[in-house]
């Protein structure tokens, strides 16, 4: 055979020849890389799914809180509108105290007042204590001052203050004491 022909024939034979061990190892590594990237991709997707689940749980909690807050605002608004009714009932009961003929009517108004107050208290209304307390501008609205033994005490409550679920719904309108000045100090 001609050596030139053998070289030409051997080239195609080389193409069909078995692969060298280095090439085989390289081909075997490629599927592992694909498996590793698939595992990484799965891990990333799982992480993303967990984050979305956590975000959704936080969203549900936040909307539930917002819903409760809106319901509380609606309740507070309604209760605030009913406070003048309570005030008028108290005025009516005070006016009927001195009239003997109105005792039965007073008893009926007292019952209505107690029932209305009980319903409002179940919703979260609480009467603010003020009489004899120290004046607090965040809780009380001073209408006037009177002379007294101590400075800054609530001497009289003109209109009751109320709290709704721990927050001030209406400030108490009060009369506050101021310390009586001695005549000797005024001369100096």
Last residue of a domain, one of 72, 106, 123: 123
131 found inside a domain = yes
68: nearest Cα among 56, 58, 57, 76: 76
If asked whether residues 43 and 87 sit together in one domain, one would say: yes
The reported pLDDT for the residue numbered 16 is 54
CATH number of the domain to which 149 belongs:
2.30.22.10
Q: How many domains does the chain have?
A: 2
CA distances from 34 to 26, 156, 170 (A): 13, 84, 69
Strand positions, DSSP E, the chain:
125-127, 140-148, 154-159, 162-164, 167-170, 172-179
- Percent of the chain residues topping a pLDDT of 70: 77
15 found inside a domain = no
pLDDT tens-digit map of 34-76: 566 888 888 889 999 999 999 999 999 999 999 998 988 888 8
Which tokens is 176 given?
């506050």
How far out from the chain centre does Cα 57 lie?
17
If asked whether residues 63 and 118 sit together in one domain, one would say: yes
Contacts of 155 (CB under 8 A, 6+ apart): 146, 148, 174, 175, 176, 177
Residue 17 reports pLDDT greater than 60: no
Write down how long the chain is: 188
Last residue of a domain, one of 74, 98, 123: 123
If asked whether residues 115 and 143 sit together in one domain, one would say: no
Last residue of a domain, one of 104, 123, 142: 123
Residue ranges making up the domain that contains 113: 20-123
If asked whether residues 57 and 117 sit together in one domain, one would say: yes
CB 93 within 8 A of CB 109: yes
pLDDT tens-digit map of 124-147: 899 998 888 888 888 898 888 898
Identify the DSSP state of 147: E
Model confidence, pTM:
0.62
């Amino acid at each position: 055979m001609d050596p030139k022909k053998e070289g030409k024939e051997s080239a195609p034979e080389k193409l069909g020849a078995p692969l060298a061990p280095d090439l085989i190892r390289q081909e075997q590594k490629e599927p592992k890389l694909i498996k590793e990237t698939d595992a990484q991709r799965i891990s990333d997707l799982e992480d993303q799914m967990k984050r979305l689940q956590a975000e959704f749980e936080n969203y549900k909690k936040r909307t539930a809180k917002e819903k409760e807050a809106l319901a509380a605002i609606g309740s507070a608004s309604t209760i605030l509108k009913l406070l003048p009714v309570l005030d008028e009932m108290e005025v009516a009961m005070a006016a009927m105290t001195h009239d003997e003929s109105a005792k039965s009517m007073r008893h009926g108004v007292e019952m209505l007042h107690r029932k209305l107050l009980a319903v409002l208290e179940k919703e979260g209304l609480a009467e603010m204590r003020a009489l004899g307390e120290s004046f607090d501008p965040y809780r009380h609205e001073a209408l006037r001052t009177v002379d007294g033994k101590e400075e800054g005490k609530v001497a009289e409550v003109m209109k009751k203050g109320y709290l709704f679920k721990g927050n001030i719904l209406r400030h108490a309108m009060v009369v506050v004491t101021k310390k009586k000045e001695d005549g000797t100090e005024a001369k100096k």
